[in-house]
Structure 1
Protein backbone atom coordinates (compact mmCIF):
# COMPACT_ATOMS: atom_id res chain seq x y z
CA UNK A 1 0.00 0.00 0.00
CA UNK A 2 1.39 3.45 -0.86
CA UNK A 3 2.28 5.77 1.98
CA UNK A 4 -0.23 8.45 2.95
CA UNK A 5 2.43 10.79 4.24
CA UNK A 6 6.14 11.54 4.15
CA UNK A 7 5.76 13.24 7.54
CA UNK A 8 3.32 11.22 9.61
CA UNK A 9 3.59 7.54 10.52
CA UNK A 10 0.06 7.93 11.92
CA UNK A 11 -2.22 10.77 12.89
CA UNK A 12 -1.54 12.69 16.07
CA UNK A 13 -4.31 13.06 18.65
CA UNK A 14 -6.16 16.25 17.68
CA UNK A 15 -8.11 18.44 20.13
CA UNK A 16 -10.81 20.83 18.93
CA UNK A 17 -9.78 24.45 19.51
CA UNK A 18 -12.66 25.82 21.57
CA UNK A 19 -13.27 28.90 23.65
CA UNK A 20 -11.38 28.76 26.96
CA UNK A 21 -8.88 26.09 25.94
CA UNK A 22 -6.07 28.66 25.52
CA UNK A 23 -4.93 28.27 29.12
CA UNK A 24 -3.90 24.66 28.44
CA UNK A 25 -1.31 25.71 25.85
CA UNK A 26 2.12 27.21 26.46
CA UNK A 27 2.23 30.91 25.52
CA UNK A 28 4.76 30.29 22.75
CA UNK A 29 2.47 27.73 21.08
CA UNK A 30 -0.71 29.76 21.61
CA UNK A 31 0.39 32.67 19.47
CA UNK A 32 1.18 30.35 16.55
CA UNK A 33 -1.83 28.06 16.89
CA UNK A 34 -4.23 31.00 17.04
CA UNK A 35 -2.42 33.08 14.40
CA UNK A 36 -5.25 34.50 12.27
CA UNK A 37 -3.13 35.33 9.23
CA UNK A 38 -0.59 33.61 7.07
CA UNK A 39 2.11 31.66 8.94
CA UNK A 40 4.49 32.31 6.02
CA UNK A 41 3.86 36.04 6.23
CA UNK A 42 4.54 35.98 9.96
CA UNK A 43 7.84 34.17 9.37
CA UNK A 44 8.77 36.59 6.58
CA UNK A 45 7.99 39.61 8.74
CA UNK A 46 10.75 38.36 11.05
CA UNK A 47 13.22 36.72 8.64
CA UNK A 48 12.49 38.49 5.35
CA UNK A 49 12.59 36.66 2.05
CA UNK A 50 15.10 34.10 3.34
CA UNK A 51 12.25 31.77 4.32
CA UNK A 52 12.27 28.88 1.83
CA UNK A 53 9.79 26.12 1.02
CA UNK A 54 11.10 22.62 0.39
CA UNK A 55 8.61 20.16 -1.09
CA UNK A 56 8.86 16.81 0.68
CA UNK A 57 5.83 15.01 -0.76
CA UNK A 58 3.36 15.87 -3.54
CA UNK A 59 0.94 13.14 -4.62
CA UNK A 60 -2.72 12.26 -4.92
CA UNK A 61 -3.42 10.19 -1.80
CA UNK A 62 -6.34 9.05 0.30
CA UNK A 63 -6.41 11.20 3.46
CA UNK A 64 -6.26 9.76 6.97
CA UNK A 65 -9.71 8.88 8.34
CA UNK A 66 -10.19 12.03 10.46
CA UNK A 67 -8.96 14.17 7.55
CA UNK A 68 -11.60 12.63 5.26
CA UNK A 69 -14.23 13.39 7.89
CA UNK A 70 -13.10 17.00 8.28
CA UNK A 71 -13.07 17.48 4.51
CA UNK A 72 -16.42 15.69 4.21
CA UNK A 73 -15.16 13.40 1.46
CA UNK A 74 -15.55 9.61 1.22
CA UNK A 75 -12.61 7.70 2.68
CA UNK A 76 -11.72 6.22 -0.72
CA UNK A 77 -11.48 9.66 -2.41
CA UNK A 78 -8.04 11.02 -3.09
CA UNK A 79 -6.85 14.56 -2.39
CA UNK A 80 -3.79 16.35 -3.64
CA UNK A 81 -1.43 15.97 -0.68
CA UNK A 82 1.45 18.41 -0.36
CA UNK A 83 3.93 18.24 2.50
CA UNK A 84 6.60 20.88 2.87
CA UNK A 85 9.29 22.17 5.17
CA UNK A 86 9.59 25.92 5.70
CA UNK A 87 13.11 26.78 6.78
CA UNK A 88 15.62 29.59 7.04
CA UNK A 89 19.15 28.65 5.96
CA UNK A 90 18.35 24.98 6.61
CA UNK A 91 16.94 25.63 10.11
CA UNK A 92 13.51 23.88 10.26
CA UNK A 93 10.65 26.20 11.25
CA UNK A 94 7.37 24.67 10.05
CA UNK A 95 6.32 21.29 8.69
CA UNK A 96 3.05 21.54 6.78
CA UNK A 97 0.67 18.98 5.29
CA UNK A 98 -2.04 20.25 2.95
CA UNK A 99 -4.91 18.21 1.50
CA UNK A 100 -6.86 19.66 -1.41
CA UNK A 101 -9.78 17.70 -2.86
CA UNK A 102 -10.36 17.86 -6.63
CA UNK A 103 -13.52 19.98 -6.26
CA UNK A 104 -11.50 22.60 -4.33
CA UNK A 105 -8.83 22.67 -7.02
CA UNK A 106 -11.53 23.34 -9.62
CA UNK A 107 -13.08 26.10 -7.47
CA UNK A 108 -9.66 27.72 -7.03
CA UNK A 109 -9.16 27.55 -10.80
CA UNK A 110 -6.27 25.13 -10.33
CA UNK A 111 -3.98 27.81 -8.84
CA UNK A 112 -3.35 25.49 -5.90
CA UNK A 113 -2.19 22.57 -8.04
CA UNK A 114 0.83 24.42 -9.44
CA UNK A 115 2.45 26.08 -6.45
CA UNK A 116 5.92 24.67 -6.93
CA UNK A 117 8.08 26.12 -4.14
CA UNK A 118 5.71 29.03 -3.51
CA UNK A 119 4.21 29.11 -0.03
CA UNK A 120 0.54 28.11 0.04
CA UNK A 121 -0.28 31.11 2.27
CA UNK A 122 0.76 33.50 -0.51
CA UNK A 123 -2.01 32.09 -2.66
CA UNK A 124 -4.88 31.30 -0.31
CA UNK A 125 -4.72 34.54 1.67
CA UNK A 126 -5.12 36.41 -1.64
CA UNK A 127 -8.61 34.92 -2.10
CA UNK A 128 -11.09 37.62 -1.04
CA UNK A 129 -13.61 35.19 0.44
CA UNK A 130 -11.25 32.78 2.21
CA UNK A 131 -12.92 31.46 5.37
CA UNK A 132 -11.50 29.58 8.33
CA UNK A 133 -14.18 27.08 9.29
CA UNK A 134 -12.67 24.83 11.93
CA UNK A 135 -9.41 24.31 13.79
CA UNK A 136 -7.83 21.64 15.99
CA UNK A 137 -4.49 21.53 17.75
CA UNK A 138 -2.11 18.84 18.93
CA UNK A 139 1.07 18.20 20.81
CA UNK A 140 2.53 15.61 18.43
CA UNK A 141 4.76 13.10 20.19
CA UNK A 142 7.91 11.91 18.37
CA UNK A 143 6.19 8.56 17.72
CA UNK A 144 3.77 10.10 15.17
CA UNK A 145 6.58 11.11 12.82
CA UNK A 146 8.21 8.99 10.15
CA UNK A 147 11.97 8.45 10.30
CA UNK A 148 12.24 10.65 7.20
CA UNK A 149 10.44 13.53 8.95
CA UNK A 150 12.56 13.16 12.09
CA UNK A 151 15.71 13.33 9.98
CA UNK A 152 14.52 16.21 7.81
CA UNK A 153 13.27 18.46 10.63
CA UNK A 154 15.53 17.18 13.44
CA UNK A 155 12.54 16.30 15.62
CA UNK A 156 13.59 15.15 19.08
CA UNK A 157 10.69 16.26 21.24
CA UNK A 158 6.94 16.89 21.13
CA UNK A 159 5.89 19.43 18.52
CA UNK A 160 2.85 21.70 18.71
CA UNK A 161 0.63 21.88 15.66
CA UNK A 162 -2.71 22.94 14.32
CA UNK A 163 -4.95 21.79 11.51
CA UNK A 164 -7.36 24.16 9.90
CA UNK A 165 -10.21 23.74 7.45
CA UNK A 166 -10.34 26.65 5.04
CA UNK A 167 -13.04 27.31 2.48
CA UNK A 168 -12.42 28.88 -0.91
CA UNK A 169 -15.59 29.51 -2.89
CA UNK A 170 -17.46 27.12 -0.58
CA UNK A 171 -14.94 24.32 -1.21
CA UNK A 172 -12.79 23.01 1.61
CA UNK A 173 -9.11 22.26 2.06
CA UNK A 174 -7.20 21.09 5.12
CA UNK A 175 -3.88 22.52 6.26
CA UNK A 176 -1.80 20.95 9.06
CA UNK A 177 1.04 23.10 10.40
CA UNK A 178 3.58 21.87 12.92
CA UNK A 179 5.74 24.46 14.68
CA UNK A 180 9.33 23.43 15.21
CA UNK A 181 11.02 24.63 18.43
CA UNK A 182 12.95 27.40 16.61
CA UNK A 183 9.68 28.86 15.27
CA UNK A 184 8.18 28.97 18.77
CA UNK A 185 11.06 31.21 19.90
CA UNK A 186 9.97 33.98 17.53
CA UNK A 187 7.85 36.87 18.73
Structure 2
Protein backbone atom coordinates (compact mmCIF):
# COMPACT_ATOMS: atom_id res chain seq x y z
CA UNK A 1 0.00 0.00 0.00
CA UNK A 2 1.22 3.49 -0.79
CA UNK A 3 2.02 5.61 2.24
CA UNK A 4 -0.50 8.22 3.30
CA UNK A 5 2.39 10.65 3.76
CA UNK A 6 5.96 10.99 2.56
CA UNK A 7 6.79 12.86 5.77
CA UNK A 8 4.92 11.10 8.55
CA UNK A 9 4.65 7.43 9.47
CA UNK A 10 1.36 8.07 11.25
CA UNK A 11 -0.89 10.95 12.12
CA UNK A 12 0.31 13.18 14.98
CA UNK A 13 -2.07 13.63 17.91
CA UNK A 14 -3.43 17.14 17.39
CA UNK A 15 -5.14 19.15 20.12
CA UNK A 16 -6.55 22.64 20.48
CA UNK A 17 -4.20 23.85 23.25
CA UNK A 18 -0.47 24.41 23.62
CA UNK A 19 -0.41 23.01 27.16
CA UNK A 20 2.58 20.77 26.35
CA UNK A 21 4.72 23.68 25.21
CA UNK A 22 7.63 23.89 27.64
CA UNK A 23 9.75 26.84 28.69
CA UNK A 24 12.73 25.11 27.01
CA UNK A 25 11.23 25.70 23.57
CA UNK A 26 12.43 28.63 21.47
CA UNK A 27 10.74 31.88 22.62
CA UNK A 28 9.17 32.58 19.22
CA UNK A 29 7.71 29.08 18.68
CA UNK A 30 4.35 29.98 20.22
CA UNK A 31 4.15 33.03 17.95
CA UNK A 32 4.82 30.94 14.82
CA UNK A 33 2.28 28.32 15.87
CA UNK A 34 -0.42 30.92 16.45
CA UNK A 35 0.35 33.07 13.39
CA UNK A 36 -2.95 34.31 11.96
CA UNK A 37 -1.59 35.56 8.64
CA UNK A 38 0.43 34.00 5.87
CA UNK A 39 3.49 31.99 6.92
CA UNK A 40 4.76 32.48 3.37
CA UNK A 41 4.76 36.26 3.81
CA UNK A 42 6.46 35.97 7.19
CA UNK A 43 9.14 33.61 5.82
CA UNK A 44 9.82 35.94 2.89
CA UNK A 45 10.37 38.78 5.35
CA UNK A 46 12.84 36.60 7.28
CA UNK A 47 14.65 34.98 4.32
CA UNK A 48 14.44 37.61 1.60
CA UNK A 49 15.31 36.36 -1.86
CA UNK A 50 16.63 33.02 -0.52
CA UNK A 51 13.06 31.86 0.23
CA UNK A 52 11.85 29.02 -1.97
CA UNK A 53 9.51 26.03 -2.06
CA UNK A 54 10.67 22.48 -2.78
CA UNK A 55 7.89 20.06 -3.68
CA UNK A 56 8.55 16.74 -1.95
CA UNK A 57 5.54 15.00 -3.45
CA UNK A 58 2.07 15.52 -4.88
CA UNK A 59 -0.41 12.70 -5.42
CA UNK A 60 -3.92 11.45 -4.80
CA UNK A 61 -3.55 9.72 -1.41
CA UNK A 62 -5.75 8.41 1.35
CA UNK A 63 -5.73 10.88 4.24
CA UNK A 64 -5.11 9.90 7.84
CA UNK A 65 -8.37 9.26 9.72
CA UNK A 66 -8.32 12.57 11.61
CA UNK A 67 -7.63 14.45 8.37
CA UNK A 68 -10.55 12.73 6.65
CA UNK A 69 -12.82 13.66 9.56
CA UNK A 70 -11.77 17.34 9.36
CA UNK A 71 -12.38 17.34 5.60
CA UNK A 72 -15.72 15.53 6.07
CA UNK A 73 -14.47 12.86 3.72
CA UNK A 74 -14.37 9.06 3.89
CA UNK A 75 -10.90 7.83 5.01
CA UNK A 76 -10.60 5.64 1.89
CA UNK A 77 -11.46 8.46 -0.50
CA UNK A 78 -8.26 9.85 -1.97
CA UNK A 79 -7.57 13.57 -1.68
CA UNK A 80 -4.93 15.67 -3.43
CA UNK A 81 -1.97 15.67 -1.05
CA UNK A 82 0.91 18.09 -1.48
CA UNK A 83 3.98 17.88 0.74
CA UNK A 84 6.61 20.59 0.51
CA UNK A 85 9.59 22.09 2.29
CA UNK A 86 9.82 25.85 2.73
CA UNK A 87 13.48 26.77 2.56
CA UNK A 88 16.00 29.55 2.94
CA UNK A 89 18.37 28.58 0.13
CA UNK A 90 18.98 24.88 0.76
CA UNK A 91 18.01 24.98 4.44
CA UNK A 92 14.49 23.59 5.18
CA UNK A 93 12.70 25.71 7.77
CA UNK A 94 9.17 24.31 7.64
CA UNK A 95 7.72 21.16 6.13
CA UNK A 96 4.07 21.31 5.16
CA UNK A 97 1.32 18.94 4.12
CA UNK A 98 -1.83 20.19 2.38
CA UNK A 99 -4.91 18.11 1.61
CA UNK A 100 -7.63 19.08 -0.83
CA UNK A 101 -10.71 17.02 -1.71
CA UNK A 102 -11.57 16.51 -5.37
CA UNK A 103 -14.39 19.07 -5.17
CA UNK A 104 -11.91 21.77 -4.14
CA UNK A 105 -10.01 21.33 -7.40
CA UNK A 106 -12.87 22.08 -9.78
CA UNK A 107 -13.83 25.30 -11.47
CA UNK A 108 -11.95 28.43 -10.43
CA UNK A 109 -9.78 26.50 -7.93
CA UNK A 110 -8.56 23.92 -10.47
CA UNK A 111 -5.14 25.62 -10.69
CA UNK A 112 -4.35 24.38 -7.16
CA UNK A 113 -3.33 21.03 -8.59
CA UNK A 114 -0.68 22.78 -10.69
CA UNK A 115 0.99 25.06 -8.12
CA UNK A 116 4.44 23.62 -8.76
CA UNK A 117 7.08 25.64 -6.87
CA UNK A 118 4.59 28.39 -5.95
CA UNK A 119 3.61 28.50 -2.26
CA UNK A 120 0.03 27.56 -1.44
CA UNK A 121 0.02 30.50 1.00
CA UNK A 122 0.21 32.98 -1.90
CA UNK A 123 -3.05 31.60 -3.24
CA UNK A 124 -4.77 31.06 0.11
CA UNK A 125 -4.28 34.47 1.64
CA UNK A 126 -5.34 36.38 -1.46
CA UNK A 127 -8.65 34.50 -1.61
CA UNK A 128 -11.45 36.72 -0.26
CA UNK A 129 -13.63 33.67 0.52
CA UNK A 130 -11.06 32.13 2.90
CA UNK A 131 -12.23 31.32 6.43
CA UNK A 132 -10.16 29.51 9.03
CA UNK A 133 -12.43 27.08 10.85
CA UNK A 134 -9.99 25.48 13.29
CA UNK A 135 -6.37 25.49 14.43
CA UNK A 136 -4.81 22.53 16.24
CA UNK A 137 -1.31 21.77 17.51
CA UNK A 138 0.88 18.67 17.85
CA UNK A 139 4.35 17.55 18.83
CA UNK A 140 6.11 15.14 16.48
CA UNK A 141 8.74 12.88 18.00
CA UNK A 142 11.82 11.87 15.98
CA UNK A 143 10.51 8.33 15.36
CA UNK A 144 7.27 9.58 13.77
CA UNK A 145 8.92 10.85 10.58
CA UNK A 146 9.09 8.75 7.42
CA UNK A 147 11.72 11.14 6.31
CA UNK A 148 12.60 14.79 6.30
CA UNK A 149 14.33 16.59 3.43
CA UNK A 150 18.07 15.77 3.50
CA UNK A 151 19.15 19.02 5.14
CA UNK A 152 16.29 19.17 7.65
CA UNK A 153 18.18 17.80 10.60
CA UNK A 154 15.88 17.95 13.60
CA UNK A 155 18.77 16.69 15.71
CA UNK A 156 16.55 14.21 17.52
CA UNK A 157 14.40 17.07 18.77
CA UNK A 158 10.65 17.16 19.10
CA UNK A 159 9.16 19.25 16.30
CA UNK A 160 6.00 21.26 16.89
CA UNK A 161 3.39 21.64 14.20
CA UNK A 162 -0.04 22.99 13.58
CA UNK A 163 -3.02 21.95 11.49
CA UNK A 164 -5.34 24.59 10.08
CA UNK A 165 -8.73 23.77 8.60
CA UNK A 166 -9.96 26.28 6.04
CA UNK A 167 -13.19 26.76 4.15
CA UNK A 168 -13.43 28.40 0.77
CA UNK A 169 -17.03 28.60 -0.33
CA UNK A 170 -18.45 25.16 0.40
CA UNK A 171 -15.12 23.35 0.20
CA UNK A 172 -12.67 22.51 2.98
CA UNK A 173 -8.91 22.15 2.83
CA UNK A 174 -6.38 21.21 5.46
CA UNK A 175 -2.87 22.62 5.87
CA UNK A 176 -0.35 21.09 8.30
CA UNK A 177 2.94 22.89 9.00
CA UNK A 178 5.88 21.66 11.08
CA UNK A 179 8.51 24.08 12.37
CA UNK A 180 12.06 22.74 12.12
CA UNK A 181 14.95 23.81 14.40
CA UNK A 182 16.68 25.56 11.46
CA UNK A 183 13.87 28.15 11.43
CA UNK A 184 14.75 29.30 14.94
CA UNK A 185 18.50 29.26 14.27
CA UNK A 186 17.90 31.51 11.25
CA UNK A 187 15.69 33.79 13.28
CA UNK A 188 18.37 34.07 15.98
CA UNK A 189 21.00 34.86 13.32
CA UNK A 190 18.73 37.53 11.82
CA UNK A 191 18.37 39.16 15.24
CA UNK A 192 22.06 38.85 16.12
CA UNK A 193 21.60 36.24 18.85
CA UNK A 194 24.09 33.46 19.36
CA UNK A 195 23.24 30.21 21.05
Distance in 1, Cα, partners of 2:107 & 2:125: 15
**Contact persistence 1:80–1:100 (CA under 8 A):** yes
**Contact persistence 2:90–2:151 (CA under 8 A):** no
TM-score of the superposed pair, with normalisation by structure 1: 0.91
Residue correspondence of structure 1 range 30-69 to structure 2 within 5 A: 30-69=30-69
Q: Which runs of 5+ in 2 are unaligned?
A: none
Q: Which runs of 5+ in 1 are unaligned?
A: none
TM-score of the superposed pair, with normalisation by structure 2: 0.87
**Contact persistence 2:92–2:149 (CA under 8 A):** no
Larger Cα Rg: Structure 1 or Structure 2? Answer: 2
**Contact persistence 1:62–1:77 (CA under 8 A):** yes
Distance in 2, Cα, partners of 1:104 & 1:47: 31
Shift of 1:142: 0.6
Which residue matches 1:184? 184
Distance in 2, Cα, partners of 1:139 & 1:16: 12
- Given the superposition, is the C-alpha separation of residues 139 and 110 from structure 1 closer, same or farther in structure 2, using an over 3 Å criterion? same
Q: Does 1:95 align with 2:95?
A: yes
- Given the superposition, is the C-alpha separation of residues 108 and 78 from structure 1 closer, same or farther in structure 2, using an over 3 Å criterion? farther
Give the alignment's Cα RMSD to 1 decimal: 1.8
